[in-house]
Amino acid sequence: MKLVFCTECSDIFSLSLNVRSCRCGRVKGRYLDERHAEVNGRGFSIAIDNVSLFKAIGRMGALHAQTREGYEQACQVDCWVRPHDGEGNPHTIVNKGL
Ligand SMILES: [Zn+2]
């Protein structure tokens, strides 16, 4: 899952096939298809590992049904702050015209 973070308004948003922007309008991006995306080069790209997210949701649900203790450690999700394009983010391009 690709997210984009704006350091000006602290908004974080997921991409869709339509252009989305943060609350202040500085950071924009969209999916080009199911795998590729473009962003306007501002802010930071964040990737969340979908497998770890769904595992954490499952663990949290099971733990929440039993107890509210200790779920913070058991429900961690893998995520990365990445460059907008290049080797560290090969399926995203920068389009400053967005
Ligand atoms: Zn913003």
Q: Are 56 and 75 in contact (CB under 8 A)?
A: yes
Q: What is the pTM of this model?
A: 0.81
**Ligand 1: centre distance to CA 11 (Å):** 6
In the reported structure, the alpha carbon of residue 77 is separated from the centroid of ligand 1 by a whole-number distance in angstroms of 24
C-alpha to C-alpha distance for 6 and 90, rounded to whole angstroms: 21
- Cα of 4 from ligand 1 centre, angstroms: 10
How many Cα atoms are found within 13 Å in the side-chain-facing hemisphere of 97? 0
CA of 15 to the centre of ligand 1 (A): 14
Q: How far is the CA of 32 from the centre of ligand 1 (A)?
A: 21
The confidence band for 75, taking pLDDT boundaries of 50, 70 and 90, is confident
pLDDT digits (tens, 9 = 90+) for 8-24: 999 999 999 999 999 99
Please identify which residue in the block is written with the tokens 């460059």. Answer: 83
Indicate the domain borders of the chain.
Answer: 2-94
pLDDT digits (tens, 9 = 90+) for 38-49: 999 999 999 999
Per the CB < 8 A criterion, the answer to whether 63 and 74 are in contact is: yes
